[in-house]
Amino acid sequence: MKHLVTGVAGFVGSNLARKLLNAGHQVTGIDNMSCGFFENIKDLTTHPSGFNFQAADIRDWEGVGESYDAVWHLAARGELYFCRDNIDEAIDINIKGTLRMLDLAKKSLASHFYFADTSAEYDSFIEHDYFPTAEWMAPNTITPMGYYAITKMAASQFVRSFGESNNIGTTLFRYTNIFGPSMNLQRDIPPVVGSFASRLFNGEGCIIYGDGSKRRDFLHIDDLSDLHLAALKSRQDKKDSHTFNGGSGENFSINQVYESVYKSCKNYYPSASDIIDYKDDQPNEARQTLANIDKAKEHLDWEPKISFDDGIEKTVKSLWEMRDDD
């Protein structure tokens, strides 16, 4: 099968492309490199299954003359601060960019469209203590918090409607907090696991926004990639629309995350500083996230295999080895 993956040089995209290639699929990947890194996909360029990378922007890439069996649309701007401060560009990328990829899927005769959605859509339920959050809770009865969640909810509605109108199957994944090796640590506010490990290895104290009691559902990237392939196996030939939570079904406080990362870092860097700088809370952040993953278990025969602590250890070890390579 031939697949198009947008945002292929990013954390999730590169891991998805590698999984597809290892399963014998051909992959064309596009990325404008605003958030992605060529190092994430360098090893894929010689993969025997066939990987074609194009440095391009979803807002103007035509993809003329190509046909694909499936389109995986992962490209987006997901930083809360970016969407808050650059709402016009966030709309242009997250909503209009999605519409362009839907149109390309139709023109390329793709039979299925896979979309990276977000658990941020559940935020208004989260504020009212509906846990764990199930797929039916959005978009029927909630109002998302923050511009990022609003753009993703609007895009997801377009995905469903477009698929129904054009006989294209659609599968949406609502990601929670995805972590693992090759996370983007260059963001102004990096993912919390990577941020903690990076600062500890640099002999710096860690920053926690709020009092550390907020709880997050964390899913290791390997488990997410398995979810993607399980959906491909089960859903590729179906023309309906389904949404699946990409979470672990467990959550941990930010203080617990710090403790786990600190413990792992000490194994590699004994002089890691045990100093925490608690700063003012960030706006438009939910008190906790916790995904109900029963639907994925039932329909896709999938469930996470990597425990939170094992995932932390794998991630910290990888980040330490990357430092040695430098």
Residue 134, in any domain of the structure? yes
- Distance (Å, whole) CA 261 – CA 254: 10
Q: Write out the residue range of the structural domain in which residue 261 sits.
A: 179-215+251-290+306-321
72/89 same-domain check = yes
Residue 87, in any domain of the structure? yes
When pLDDT is averaged across residues 166-176 and rounded to a whole number, the result is 96
Residue 287 pLDDT level (bands cut at 50, 70, 90): confident
Residue 297, in any domain of the structure? no
- Distance (Å, whole) CA 141 – CA 127: 13
- Distance (Å, whole) CA 102 – CA 288: 32
Highest mean pLDDT among 147-161, 173-187, 297-311: 297-311
Residue 123, in any domain of the structure? yes
- Distance (Å, whole) CA 115 – CA 25: 18
More confident residue, 13 or 283: 13
Per DSSP, helices labelled H in the chain are 11-22, 80-85, 87-91, 97-107, 123-126, 147-166, 192-201, 221-235, 254-268, 294-300, 308-325
- Distance (Å, whole) CA 241 – CA 184: 30
265/239 same-domain check = no
230/314 same-domain check = no
186/111 same-domain check = no
Residue 296, in any domain of the structure? no
When pLDDT is averaged across residues 12-37 and rounded to a whole number, the result is 96
233/255 same-domain check = no
Report CA Rg, the chain. Answer: 19
146/270 same-domain check = no
pLDDT tens digits, one per residue of 123-134:
655 555 667 888
* Mean pLDDT of the residues in the chain: 90
pLDDT tens digits, one per residue of 174-230:
999 999 987 877 665 568 999 999 999 999 999 999 999 999 999 999 999 999 999
242/148 same-domain check = yes
- Distance (Å, whole) CA 158 – CA 64: 23
Output the six-digit token pair for 111.
């039979």
pTM equals 0.93
Specify the CATH number for the domain of residue 148: 3.40.50.720
Residue 73 pLDDT level (bands cut at 50, 70, 90): very high
Specify the CATH number for the domain of residue 208: 3.90.25.10
167/48 same-domain check = yes
Residue 298, in any domain of the structure? no
**Domains: count for the chain:** 2
113/229 same-domain check = yes
